[in-house]
DNA sequence: TGACGCTCGATTGGATCCATTGTGCGTCAT
DNA sequence: ATGACGCACAATGGATCCAATCGAGCGTCA
């Protein structure tokens, strides 16, 4: 075995690549929270042995996407409402800072792009494209600052709540959309004027409002989704 | 080889244990920033093979304590002034939140303990005990809240700047001590009164002042400490 | 004499094999 | 029939071995 086609120059170890692919799969919803992940499956699916597979699982665990129990196995992380709110509270403090650092660096063209994204979001009615555009909008606000650690931290927080944003959007799609769209345009406006304080304020209340709205629908977190202790992985 | 004395029940994989020991060593200053870390050394020193050693290095990398370059090696992370200030900016936003969540949960006895720590710090003149007490003081403020992710994030930030707090304290020990002690007592006072807003304010300005003071001494970061590309690990 | 290129050594990355552990099922006794 | 005990299987953890890669030092040539 081990065909090793080498069809692509591999930059970085295989564990990193496997982790990236697995991360994408989890974020895409292929593995919902609570899903058991077996090392051998990961290895087989991504063309590697169990060593880099295990490496990838440990990596994703440190990002909070996976929970590894010693000598037992790995599961996609499940969050309860309290943990989800915690993440939103952290975001409420961190993202305004990150946005502030980006304000003086964003070009007018980039702000135009954000405006376009905000409008495109209003027109979208598909859940997946909405999720994608929302993520794209917010993360595009953060591309210019060179603060790597802050950026990474925020990215991890987004990733950890991704399944729950999907669940929420799927069920209560139209609920807070009006406010969200309004706030996005307020952010664009503040960015255009270079008003960092206003941008911070709007973003903070945007995240806060989302958190409160989420808290109003705890039923999303009810189903622990049948945790097979040692059984299948789908 | 592989004596496997099993003198202690091991909870969790060896990689986790090795990572913990290595982390302690880095925080203790045994491996200063820029030090090369070879897998085989780690394995030998901690009684394991290179597999868990590598696992430990990847773990510490995800915590930001170590930088792993593919097919090349691992080094203890070096920060420049900008990166250090970034961490302090993040802490300035996160720790007040974490403190606020703890305010209603801290018992009067715990606040007394904090007060004792603050006083003990004033009397200490040894760098290492000062560092230890300072860390102890701040982290003891955060023990009660059940917000695991926030707590972990803050802990990682502390760990990443540890070598630079040590360097700063070693060189400019007496500089900002007066202000720091004053602020610690203000925090204790706010905690005693259960005044979350005031506690937040004081802590934020405490961290901010520390950051500004650090920025006034960029010479700490000057020495990249001779990065041996493939040489010794001491 | 300096710059380029090549080879060799050292070190990391990965695959396979073996040990360990936890789970589930079957059996037996009550 | 039900509970507890024990055995067998399956999945993880770790060690060793082999391959791949990078760096350094040396030699050659301009």
Residues A29 and A122 in one domain: no
| Residue B65 near residue B26 (C-beta atoms within 8 A) | yes
The answer to whether residues A99 and A112 belong to one domain is yes
Determine, yes or no, domain membership for B121: yes
CATH of the domain at B24: 1.10.10.10
How many angstroms away from the CA of B176 is the closest CA of chain A? Answer: 26
Residue of B nearest to A50 (CA): B51
- Note whether A93 contacts B97, CB cutoff 8 Å: yes
Strand pairing report for A73-76 and A66-69: antiparallel
The tally of CA atoms less than 13 A away on the side-chain side of residue B172 is 16
Is residue A68 domain-shared with residue A127, that is, in the same domain? Answer: no
Q: Provide the pLDDT for residue B98.
A: 98
Mutate to test the interface with B, among A49, A89, A161 (most CBs of B within 10 A): A89
pLDDT of amino acid B46 = 96
> Which three-class secondary structure state does DSSP give residue A69?
strand
Same structural domain, B30 and B125 = no
pLDDT confidence of residue B12: 83
Q: What's the pLDDT tens digit per position in A104-158?
A: 999 999 999 999 999 999 998 889 999 999 999 999 999 999 999 999 999 999 9
The two structure tokens encoding residue A128 = 């997946």
Number of domains within chain B = 2
Task: Give the pLDDT confidence of B117-132 residue by residue, as tens digits.
Answer: 999 999 988 899 999 9
CA distance B227 to B84: 19
- What's the average pLDDT block by block, 10 residues per block, for chain A (234 residues)? 45 91 97 96 96 96 97 96 98 98 98 97 91 97 97 98 95 76 97 98 98 94 60 38
pLDDT band of B224, cuts 50, 70, 90: low
- Using one digit for the tens of pLDDT, what is the confidence trace for B154-211? 999 999 999 999 999 988 876 567 889 999 999 999 999 999 999 999 999 999 999 9
Among A78, A96, A112, identify where a domain stops: A78
pLDDT at B178: 82
Q: Domain check: are A114 and A125 in the same one?
A: yes
Beta partners for A69?
Answer: A73
CA B163 to chain centroid? 8
Residue A227 lies in a domain: no
Interface membership of B196 toward A (CB under 8 Å): no
Please check whether residues A126 and A172 belong to one and the same domain.
Answer: yes
Tell whether the model's pLDDT for residue B4 goes beyond 50: no
The strand D neighbours among B residues 75-134, by Cβ under 7 Å, are: none
| A9 in any annotated domain | no
Query: How far, in Å, CA of A172 to CA of A217, rounded?
Result: 9
List the domain range (segments joined by +) for residue A112: 81-220
Residues B182, B167 share a domain:
yes
In a domain, residue A125? The reply is yes
Q: Is A126 helix (H, G, I), strand (E, B) or coil?
A: coil
Looking up residue A149, the CATH number of its domain turns out to be 1.20.120.530
Residue B179 maps to a domain = yes
Closest Cβ–Cβ partner in B12, B54, B55 for A70: B12
Cα–Cα distance, B86 to A97 (Å, whole number)? 10
Residue B3 within a domain: no
Whether B206 is in a domain gets the answer yes
Which of B19, B50, B78, B86 is best to mutate for the A interface (most A CBs within 10 A)?
B86
Same-domain check for residues B101 and B60:
no
């Amino acid at each position: 075995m081990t065909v090793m086609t080498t069809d692509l120059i591999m930059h970085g170890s295989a564990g990193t690549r496997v982790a990236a692919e697995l991360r994408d799969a989890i974020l895409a919803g292929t593995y919902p929270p609570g899903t058991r992940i077996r090392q051998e499956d990961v290895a087989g699916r991504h063309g590697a042995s169990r060593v880099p597979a295990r490496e990838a699982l440990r990596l994703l665990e440190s990002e909070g996407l996976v929970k590894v129990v010693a000598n037992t196995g790995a599961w996609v992380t499940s969050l309860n409402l309290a943990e989800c709110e915690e993440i939103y509270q952290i975001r409420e403090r961190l993202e305004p800072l990150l946005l502030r650092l980006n304000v003086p660096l964003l070009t007018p063209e980039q702000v135009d792009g954000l405006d376009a994204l905000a409008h495109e979001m209003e027109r979208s009615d598909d859940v997946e494209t909405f999720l994608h555009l929302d993520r794209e909008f917010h993360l595009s606000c953060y591309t210019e600052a060179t603060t790597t650690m802050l950026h990474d931290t925020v990215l991890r927080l987004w990733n950890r709540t991704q399944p729950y944003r999907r669940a929420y959007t799927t069920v209560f799609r139209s609920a807070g959309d009006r406010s969200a769209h309004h706030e996005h345009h307020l952010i664009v406006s503040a960015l255009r004027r270079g008003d960092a304080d206003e941008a911070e304020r709007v973003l903070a209340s945007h995240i806060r409002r989302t958190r409160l709205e989420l808290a109003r629908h705890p039923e999303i977190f009810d189903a622990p989704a049948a945790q097979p202790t040692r059984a299948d992985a789908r």
